[in-house]
A and B are shown apart, each in its own frame.
Chain A
Amino acid sequence: MLLTLLAVVTIAIVRQRSLFGVVILASIYSFLMASVLIVLDAVDVAMTEASVGAGVSTVLLLATLHLVKTTEMKRVRPHLLPLFVSLGTGAVLVWGTLVLPPFGTPDAAIHKHVAPRYIADTIKDTNVPNVVTSVLADYRGYDTLGETTVIFTAGIGVMLLLRKARRRGRRDDAETSR
């Protein structure tokens, strides 16, 4: 049911002509996606989806909408090849899921590898009561360190770009007012 609604919203986003409506529908899409993730029992991912997708990216899309001009393109002739390629890829992926073990079975291959060790040794090794936290911050500490480094670098880059643009804008303002 939720997935049907997701598909309906996606088609509506593609067919929507007003950009403002697209922003609202994208926010709705994020909330639906978060609900799907909650039903799948991934509350932390759902949390991220709701905060980033519905909160921040709505604001960012609106700001972009304000900054750029909009021009309406002519309706393009529908291409059939990309449709077939994507449908074929989707069919292959669905065919691949047929051999996967059913969702949530404890003896799937992914639950046999390191997960029992994490669950058994978390308290002894790290003294953290939450297993997910201990895996992210301790067992995969270097991985998380790398991720934060990447995000930090990206943030610095964006800040430098924005600062340069703003300074130039201010100088232009001063010259035009003179």
Chain B
Amino acid sequence: MFAAAAAAILVALALAIIRAIKGPTVFDRVLAGNSVGTLAIMLLAVVGFLTERPEFLDIGLTYGLLNLIGTLSVLKFFRHGDLAYDADSESKS
């Protein structure tokens, strides 16, 4: 059952990557990148259960946090054109 899940995740990864390569707009690419990150987390969890080591789930949590940071920074860059937007007032307070 876990093998079937892993195969399905691989197919989903392929689809997300096709979207990231073809994607006409930037938002398609950002969304595809985010979903690739999520699928990598799921693949990690499934591989953990396949090799009967469910403690891989902890590492999956860390991946989730990293994925959030990456997507947030990309979107912030796209919104403001600057990563350090409003950083001065934040550092003063």
A28 CB contact (under 8 Å) in B17, B44, B47: B17
Give the number of residues in B that approach A within 8 Å (Cβ atoms).
34
Contacts known (A27-B70, A28-B32, A54-B66); A5 close to B21, Cβ less than 8 A: no
- The answer to whether the Cβ of A39 comes within 8 Å of any Cβ in the partner chain is yes
Residues of B within 8 A of A66 (CB): 77, 81-83
- The answer to whether the Cβ of A137 comes within 8 Å of any Cβ in the partner chain is no
Residues of A within 8 A of B36 (CB): 27-28, 31-32
| Contact mask for chain B residues 58-71; partner A; CB cutoff 8 A; 1 contact, 0 none | 01001100110110
Which of A16-24, A88-96, A168-176 lies at the binding interface?
A: A16-24
From A13, which residue of chain B is reached at the shortest CB distance? Answer: B21
A54 CB contact (under 8 Å) in B23, B30, B70: B70
Q: In the complex, which residues 3-29 of chain B have their Cβ closer than 8 Å to any Cβ of chain A?
A: 10, 13-14, 17, 20-21, 23, 26, 29
Report which residue of B23, B44, B70 has the largest number of chain A beta carbons within 10 angstroms of its beta carbon. B70
Contact A62 B74 (CB under 8 A): yes
- The answer to whether the Cβ of A25 comes within 8 Å of any Cβ in the partner chain is yes
Contact B37 A51 (CB under 8 A): no
Inter-chain CA distance A173–B56, complex, in Å, is 51
From B33, which residue of chain A is reached at the shortest CB distance? Answer: A24
Chain A residues engaging chain B, CB cutoff 8 angstroms? 1-2, 5, 8-9, 12, 16, 20-21, 23-25, 27-28, 31-32, 34-35, 38-39, 41, 43, 46-47, 50-51, 54-55, 58-59, 62-63, 65-66
